[in-house]
Each structure stands twice: as structure tokens, then as C-alpha cells.
Structure 1
Amino acid sequence: MGLPKFFMDDSESMKYEETIDFFLSWTFRCADIVYKKENEIVYNYSKLILQKLLLNFSISNESIFKNIKVWKQHSNIDLWVELTIEVDGIEQKAAMIIENKMYSSIRNGQLENYKEIALEYYKDDDRKFEFIFLRPDYEIGNKTSEKAKCEELGYMYLNLEELKDALPNKKTKNHLFDEFWFNW
């Protein structure tokens, strides 16, 4: 029978978006080089997730992610991530602005506003950006007009299953990581 599912209970509202935000925040921070020796498999898998999200950057398997900071609901943005990417000894400052939607649709002007907030915040910074819109799975993520709108606004349109697909099928033996990325 096994233990009960960690991310599911008897609530009417599962607060999926908040759960996803917290777990993505933790996953991103696990990719920081300072955690490599804590659990090398979780570290490597977390790096694979970040590599999938950082398409506008020249990243290799030898790239190092460091100084990862994540804010949830900062300026109403679901996840605001800052990090430094080191490739062949050269550092690049990066920011990811992530909007996560479980069931609701994009509000009028929402993505444009988030992009404007981030660009204004970093106006005196040489940081590169990724603007990302996430849906939970392939089925919900097949909204062609929504995807077109995101791409028109410079947002990468992905779903959590696409992120999971970046991972090997071998579990990490970290129960929380495996529950979210492989079982949920």
C-alpha cells in the first residue's frame, strides 16, 4: 500500500500553484554549487532542470550555477530567480521571471507588466533574462493561442512534464525530490 501521497490531502483546494512554486524554488536552489556534496544526484538533476529553463544562455554540463536566490510572489511574480552562471571561467548574471498557472488563464497585461517590472529593476545591471510561463502538463499546456501570446511577449512556454523529461528515469533516493518530479 505504501505511505500516503505527500502533495495530496483531503482539501478541496490543493493550492497547486503554491506547491509548485515552493518546490521549484527548492529545486533551483539545490542546483547551487554549494550543495553539490550534500546530494550529488539531486544537485545534478536540479542543474538539468535549470539548463532546460535557461535556453538563451550558452550552457554546458560543466557550467556552474551559484549565488542562486529565489523570491516567491515578489511584485506578484510567482518566482523571481537570480543566479550567476559560470561557463569556462566566465561569469554571467541571470534572472528568471516565472509565471506558473495551474487552471487560470493569463490576465490582460499580466505578462507585459511582469516583464516591465523586471527590466526596470535591472535597468543598471548587465543581467540576461529568461521569461517563463509554466503549465502543469502537456494536456493543459496545449493551448495554442496562449502559447502564441507567450512567445509574442518573449516568454518561454513550458510545462512541468517537459522539465521532468530533462531528467533521467533513475530516482534520486531523496524522497521529496522523487515524490514531486517522479510520482506526483
Structure 2
Amino acid sequence: MSGHRLFRFPKPAWLNSANTRTAGVYTAGALFSLGFFAFIDAAAFSKSPKNGSDPPIHINFVDWIPGICSALGMLVINSIDKNRLNGDSFSYSGNGVAWKARLVLFLGFALMAGGLAGSVTVMVLKYIVPDYPFPTLWFGVANVVANAMIMLSSAVLWVAQNMEDEYTYNLAL
């Protein structure tokens, strides 16, 4: 056993396999697409008249802002290499790489948290306070579901991309 382990029990061998990494990436993609599908479904439903009657309120740009923030946060978080967060022992890009990477990672998490908080705020102020019935309330619920799925997708992708595989070689110049 390695002296760098936190727990006494060893990590399962299947956790470091290439198949697990691939399954994690596909799962993250599925979560991301399901989240945006829920929101786009609500957006399409808000613009189409149902049985000749128009919904009392429509999805506009304000409803899209939380999803855009969450998607940008996901891009920022998953573009950072986990090795850059460990320390400044050796780097080609100068001093202070670890704290810069941590700052950018924090900004990515802040974007995603702001997106989720914004979607809850939009749902409460735009759909719950005016007391709309459920077909219209789905517009706000879909926004929250989409942002939660994007956050979950980002976490799954972060873990899947940063798994260490003893049979994988990183060739970088």
C-alpha cells in the first residue's frame, strides 16, 4: 500500500480502467444532453400554442442566462489539468501556476453555482410567485433541472478525465 492513501482500504482495480473512464465520459455527455433537452423542450413548448391557447408567459433570454453560465462554468472547470492544482514544484509556464489554476477552477465553480442559483431565482420570481399552473411552471422547473444536470455532468466528467490509469502514458513535449 502506498503511504499517500487517506483510507486503509485499497482502491478497487476497476476504478482505474480505461473502460470506466470511457463510461464516465459518456455518462457526463448523456447528463449534459438530457439537461439541455429538458430546457429546449420547455422552450419549444412555451412558444407553441397548445389546443389553440397561448401560454400566459414565454421563455425569453433571461431564462437562458443561467444555462449559459453553467455551460461556461463546465467548460472552464474541465479545461484545467488536475496536475496543475497540486503544486509549483516544476512548471514551464512560470511561478504561481497552482494558485492561478485554483483561481480559474474557483471561477468555473462560481459560474456553475451562479447558474444554478440563477435558475432557482428565475423559477421562483417568474413562475412560482405569480402562481402559474403546472404546464407553465414546467418552464422554470426545466431550467433548474437543466442546470443541475449540467453541474452533475461536470462533476462526472472531472472525475472521469482525471482518473489515473497505470497503463496510460502521457506524452507531452
TM range (shorter): under 0.3
Give the structure-1-normalised TM-score.
Answer: 0.26
Q: RCO higher in 1 or 2 (8 Å CA, sep ≥ 6)?
A: 2
Comparing both structures, which one devotes a greater share of its residues to helix? Answer: 2
Q: Which has the larger radius of gyration?
A: 2
Comparing both structures, which one devotes a greater share of its residues to strand? Answer: 1
